[in-house]
């Protein structure tokens, strides 16, 4: 089998594996050439002096006096290495070079480490002027500072509860931290007025060191030594880089001609670079295919897979899920989309098996598909979210009513508790240190807040249903940090307070049945699957609701829900009125809970449904583009 036939069979077979369709390429006009090339390459040894600051710690090395003296000594030594009088760095590079010229050709810019000597200098510290100590900034050098607990007044405000008169009494007493003096021994300097200089760590001097480093910088040039070569040979060498040597035949070391950018070490060799060119015909269109090196590495495939790739990709994003799934499962299209999404390079595009125009068209169709799926993922979310607002608003309203009916005395005291409108004042007082959480020092408030923020941030990163940016993560973490203390502390203390009272079960039964029973209407309307049965279901549910209320009214005599001398309807109204008042005082909390639950739970439900739909395409890169790979 001829080389042309082998290439043609490979291109057809590989193309069908990559695109899933036939690639009827026909090769002709085979042109094989053996151009001879000459390469000259070498390395220039460069010497540099590096300075290092060590603060107040003296490093090991040759002491040279001041930092200027040490710098001067290091630069003088560097000149010795540059001139070659001291061959240290040249000898280090000679050890790197070997006898094989092809291996030497692959050596890039190479570091030669530092010279053994380090030159050390010292200067008097400008901050402490050599004393090693500076005045304490906490007490301004006085050794005593104002007492933190009483702010220097010697007295602190306290509050005491007078249980006899049932009132809170505010007064002042002598500060226990400073025993009424208003001053405390400075904890920073322990009363001395001076602290160790941080600039020089108390040594009084700043130390500097200078080291000498060497590096071998590479230079290369090449030229054709024969006139029989393809015009694209130079582009292939430039794109392949140093690895081009792996494609050479007959590598022979030759004499160096002339200088090479002042290089200290220079080599030259000649070699043969086999090149091969075909004319490829596909769909009555001719293109040029170029290969080079003894492994026949592809330089330019001429876009021979363009028709096959586009035949599959043109249907993507047209609205047919089956065509989209087939396209995303095609290896060539899958690789192109992944390369574009991850900004990576693949041989299919770098070697022009698929041209840039077709690649851009594939990516455009893919982005169209992603846009369509994103629109579908939120289709109908606004009506669902509004319905969720109604559902959760009534749910939280009903729960609040039941709590108020069950604990009427607790409900009557709702005005005396901290609500959401007073919560910002509580936050400000917390941050100002006006009180201490859990009886700890006021400064610990900041530790609690920061700890809660970090915990909230990590919780969102681990548990949020999809990947979100840092800005959104920080915003959600801040929201949790601000709201969670109010929710947690309110639930804790309100629960303790509520259970101090005897629950009014009869009131909760009679009043709660009015509100909870309305769910019968919802069930009666939504339960039937056929539309013509829904009115019947609603009528039946309404009848059950009326029967429930009538049954409870019939039990009034046995349960004592409403006094006998009071009409039942009016009595129920009197029971419900404090509960409604309780809900009116907590209307903002009700609204906030409703909005948060409606928004996040609806968004999560739609996201999960959309992820299930996208997963049917069996494409990891599509999940990533939709931000659903989590």
Cα–Cα distances (Å) from 137 to 144, 152, 188, 289, in that order, read 11, 18, 9, 76
SS3 (DSSP) at 51 = strand
The answer on pLDDT for 198 being more than 60 is: yes
Q: What is the share, in percent, of the chain residues with pLDDT greater than 70? A: 98
* CA distances to 401, 547, 557, 566 from 562, in Å: 18, 19, 8, 7
Burial track 344-378 (b if 16+ CB lie within 10 A, e otherwise): eebebbebbbbbeebbebbbebbeebbeebeeebe
Rounded to the nearest 5°, which phi and psi values hold at 601? -70, -35
Span 339-363, average pLDDT: 94
What pLDDT, on a 0 to 100 scale, did the predictor assign at position 166?
63
The residues that bridge with 224 in the sheet, in sequence order, are 37
Please answer whether residues 224 and 35 qualify as being in contact, where contact means their C-beta atoms are separated by less than 8 angstroms.
yes
List b or e across 186-203, with b for residues whose CB sees 16 or more CB atoms inside 10 angstroms: beebeeebbbebebbbbb
User: 142: which residues sit within 8 A by CB, 6+ positions away?
Assistant: 186, 193
Distances in Å between the alpha carbon of 402 and those of 411, 420, 553, 583?
A: 11, 21, 18, 10
219, 107 contact by CB (below 8 A): no
The pLDDT tens digits for 534-566 are 899 999 999 999 999 899 888 887 888 888 778
CA pair distance 260, 543, nearest whole angstrom: 102
- CA pair distance 365, 340, nearest whole angstrom: 13
Query: Dihedral angle at the C-alpha atoms of 592, 597, 602, 607, nearest 10 degrees?
Result: 110
Model confidence pLDDT, tens digit, residues 414-428: 877 777 888 888 888
Structure tokens at 463: 């548990």
Task: Dump pLDDT digits (tens) for 393-404.
Answer: 999 999 999 999
b/e string for 237-251 if b means 16 or more Cβ within 10 A?
A: beebeeebbebbeee
Q: Is the distance from CB of 358 to CB of 303 less than 8 angstroms?
A: yes
Q: In 54-204, which ranges are E strands?
A: 62-63, 110-114, 119-124, 133-135, 144-146, 155-162, 167-174, 183-185, 194-196
Q: Tens digit of pLDDT for each residue in 506-533? A: 888 988 899 998 999 889 888 888 888 8
pTM for the full model?
0.72
Residue in the block written with tokens 């941080």: 198
SS3 call for 475: helix
Q: What is the pLDDT of residues 317-329, one digit of tens each?
A: 998 999 999 999 9
Catalogue all structural domains in the chain, each as residue range(s) with its CATH number. Answer: 3-37+224-375 (no CATH), 133-196 (2.10.230)
Q: Give the pLDDT score at 451.
A: 93
CA atoms within 13 A on the CB side of 461: 9
Does residue 362 contact residue 19 with C-beta atoms inside 8 Å? Answer: no
- A 10 A CB-CB count for 526 gives 12
Which pLDDT belongs to residue 177? 77
| Each residue's pLDDT tens digit, 293-312 | 999 999 999 999 999 999 99
Enter the tokens of residue 117. Answer: 């000597």
Structure tokens at 274: 């086999």
For residues 481 and 475, what is the distance between their CA atoms, to the nearest angstrom? Answer: 10
**What is the pLDDT, as a whole number, of residue 165?**
62
The secondary structure of residue 571, as a DSSP letter, is: H
The whole-angstrom separation of Cα 288 and Cα 307 is 15
For residues 514 and 576, is the Cβ–Cβ distance under 8 A? yes
Helix (H) or strand (E) holding 300: strand 297-300
- Give the range with max mean pLDDT: 119-128, 184-193, 526-535: 119-128
pLDDT per residue over 86-118, tens digit each?
Answer: 999 999 999 998 888 889 999 999 999 999 999
Report the alpha-carbon distance of residue 226 to residue 229 in Å, rounded. Answer: 7
Question: Which 8-state DSSP code applies to residue 242?
Answer: G
Whether 444 shows a pLDDT value over 60: the answer reads yes
* 352-372 pLDDT per residue, tens: 999 999 999 999 999 999 999
| Closest by Cα among 486, 495, 488 to 421 | 486
Residue 1: band (very low, low, confident or very high) from pLDDT cuts 50, 70, 90: low
Angstrom distance (rounded) from CA 535 to CA 474: 49
Counting every residue, how long is the chain?
630
- How much is the mean pLDDT over the chain? 89
pLDDT for the residue 164: 56
Task: Please report the pLDDT score of residue 161 as a whole number.
Answer: 64
Going 510 to 513 to 515 to 518, the CA torsion angle's sign is negative
237 CB-near residues (< 8 Å, 6+ apart): 37, 222, 244, 273
Separation between Cα atoms, residue 348 and residue 338, nearest integer Å:
12
If 0-12 CB within 10 Å is exposed, 13-18 middle and 19+ buried, where does residue 591 land?
middle
Rounded Cα gap, residues 4 and 12, in angstroms: 12
CA distances from 500 to 168, 484, 505 (A): 22, 24, 15
* % of the chain with per-residue pLDDT over 90: 57
From residue 324, give the alpha-carbon distance in Å to each of 316, 342, 362, 374.
5, 20, 12, 15
Going by pLDDT thresholds of 50, 70 and 90, the confidence category of residue 467 is: confident
């Amino acid at each position: 089998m001829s080389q042309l036939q082998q290439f043609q069979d490979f291109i057809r077979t590989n193309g069908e594996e990559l695109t899933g369709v036939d690639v009827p390429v026909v090769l002709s006009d085979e042109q094989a050439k053996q151009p001879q090339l000459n390469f000259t390459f070498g390395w220039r040894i460069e010497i540099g002096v590096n300075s290092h600051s060590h603060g107040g710690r003296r490093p090991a090395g040759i002491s040279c006096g001041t930092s200027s003296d040490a710098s001067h000594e290091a630069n003088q030594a560097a000149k010795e290495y540059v001139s070659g009088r001291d061959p240290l760095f040249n000898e280090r590079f000679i050890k790197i070079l070997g006898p094989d010229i092809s291996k030497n050709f692959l050596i890039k810019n190479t570091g030669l480490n530092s010279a053994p000597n380090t030159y050390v200098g010292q200067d008097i510290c400008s901050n402490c002027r050599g004393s090693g100590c500076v005045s304490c900034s906490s007490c301004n050098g006085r050794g005593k500072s104002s007492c933190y607990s009483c702010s220097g007044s010697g007295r602190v405000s306290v509050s005491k509860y007078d249980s006899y008169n049932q009132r809170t009494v505010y007064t002042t007493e002598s500060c226990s931290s400073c025993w009424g003096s208003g001053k405390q021994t400075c904890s920073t300097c322990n009363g001395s007025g001076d602290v160790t200089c941080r600039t020089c760590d108390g040594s009084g001097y700043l130390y500097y060191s200078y080291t000498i480093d060497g590096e071998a910088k590479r230079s290369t040039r090449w030229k054709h030594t024969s006139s029989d070569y393809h015009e694209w040979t130079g582009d292939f060498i430039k794109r392949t880089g140093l690895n081009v040597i792996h494609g050479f035949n007959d590598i022979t070391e030759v004499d160096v001609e002339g200088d090479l950018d002042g290089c200290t070490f220079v080599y030259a060799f000649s070699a043969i670079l086999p090149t091969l060119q075909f004319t490829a015909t596909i769909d009555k269109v001719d293109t040029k295919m170029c290969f080079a090196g003894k492994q026949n590495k592809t330089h330019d495939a001429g876009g021979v897979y363009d028709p096959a790739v586009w035949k599959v990709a043109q249907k993507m994003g047209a609205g047919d899920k089956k065509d989209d799934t087939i396209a995303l499962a095609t290896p060539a299209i899958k690789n192109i989309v992944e390369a574009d999404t991850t900004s990576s390079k693949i041989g299919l595009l770098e070697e022009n098996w698929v041209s840039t125009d077709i690649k851009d068209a594939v990516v455009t169709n893919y982005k169209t598909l992603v846009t369509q799926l994103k629109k579908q993922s939120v289709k109908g979310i606004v009506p669902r979210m509004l319905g969720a607002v109604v559902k959760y608003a009534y749910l939280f309203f009903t729960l609040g009513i039941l709590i108020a009916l069950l604990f009427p005395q607790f409900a009557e005291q709702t005005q005396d508790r901290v609500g959401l409108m007073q919560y910002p004042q509580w936050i400000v007082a917390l941050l100002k240190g006006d009180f201490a959480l859990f009886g700890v020092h006021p400064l610990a408030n900041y530790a609690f807040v920061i700890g809660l923020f970090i915990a909230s941030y990590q919780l969102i990163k681990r548990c949020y249903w999809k990947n979100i940016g840092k800005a959104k993560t920080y915003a959600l973490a801040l929201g949790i940090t601000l709201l969670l203390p109010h929710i947690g502390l309110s639930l804790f203390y309100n629960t303790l307070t509520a259970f101090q009272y005897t629950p009014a079960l009869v009131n909760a039964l009679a009043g709660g049945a009015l509100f909870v029973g309305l769910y019968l209407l919802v069930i009666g309307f939504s339960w039937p699957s056929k539309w013509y049965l829904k009115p019947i279901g609603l009528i039946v549910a309404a009848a059950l609701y009326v029967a429930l209320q009538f049954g409870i009214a019939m039990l009034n005599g046995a349960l004592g829900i409403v006094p006998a001398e009071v009409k039942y309807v009016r009595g129920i109204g009197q029971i419900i009125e404090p509960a409604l008042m309780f809900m009116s005082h907590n209307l903002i909390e009700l609204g906030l809970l409703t909005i948060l639950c409606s928004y996040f739970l609806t968004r999560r439900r739609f996201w999960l449904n959309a992820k299930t739909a996208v997963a049917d395409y069996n494409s990891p890169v599509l999940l990533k583009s939709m931000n659903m790979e989590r």
